[in-house]
Amino acid sequence: MRIEPIQADITTLDVDMVVNAANTSLLGGGGVDGAIHRAAGPELLEACRAHGGCPTGEARLTPGFGLPARWVAHAVGPRWRGGDRGEAEALASCYRAALALADQVGASSIAFPAISTGIYGYPPEKAAQVAVEALRQAKTKVEVAYLVAFDRPMLDTYRRLLGAPGAQ
């Protein structure tokens, strides 16, 4: 699988699957979660409601509805509590769970936001390290995984960790 860091609005990407940084209720929230729900339309909320929630470290599948992406994997990342309460494993599990859903539906491209780095407080550098390692170790049929940065500092972090051109 090719891993590509990009800076973009995840709701606009023409990929097979986008990953939503969801909360355990799956009923929407702020940040990436709110943006994906707004862009996908009200059908997404109904589809999420049918799942009855999702535990931390897991992911649930819905159609993309109004998004360019055909599918959404709603991954619930951990809240940062200092790093010694299994946060890294729970975060890595989100990436693996989303890739498993991508394989289930035959997705060849997937876009990940920086899961848990917003309101959940995961330090961006540490979260990026977990993401890159989890994706590099993944056994999947997905051909390309985009690490979508909302801002330039996160893009630079992804580039540096991946040894990509333009890394700072």
pLDDT tens per residue across span 83-96:
999 999 999 999 99
What pLDDT was estimated at residue 164? 75
pLDDT value of position 115: 98
Q: In the prediction, which pLDDT does 95 show?
A: 98
151: in domain: yes
List CB contacts of 163: < 8 A, sequence separation 6 or more: none
In a domain, 87, yes or no: yes
Give the Cα separation of 48 and 60 in Å (integer). 8
Tokens of 38: 């707004």
Q: How far apart are CA 20 and CA 10, in angstroms?
A: 9
Is residue 83, in this structure, part of any structural domain at all?
Answer: yes
- Domain residues for the domain of 37 are 2-162
Is position 167 within any domain?
A: no
Pick the catalytic residue: 9, 14, 33, 103? Answer: 33
CB of 9 closer than 8 Å to CB of 43: no
Q: For the residues 75-83, what does the mean pLDDT come to? A: 98
Q: If pLDDT is split at 50, 70 and 90, which confidence band does 166 have?
A: low
Residue 33 is among the residues annotated as catalytic for this protein: yes
Element (H, E) at 10: none
Q: Is residue 8 part of a domain?
A: yes
Number of compact structural domains in the chain: 1
Q: Is 168 a member of any domain?
A: no
Are the beta carbons of 91 and 78 closer than 8 angstroms? yes
pTM of the full structure: 0.96
Q: What's the CATH number where 91 sits?
A: 3.40.220.10
Rg (alpha carbons) of the chain, rounded to whole number: 14
Whether pLDDT at 168 is above 70: no
74, part of any domain? yes
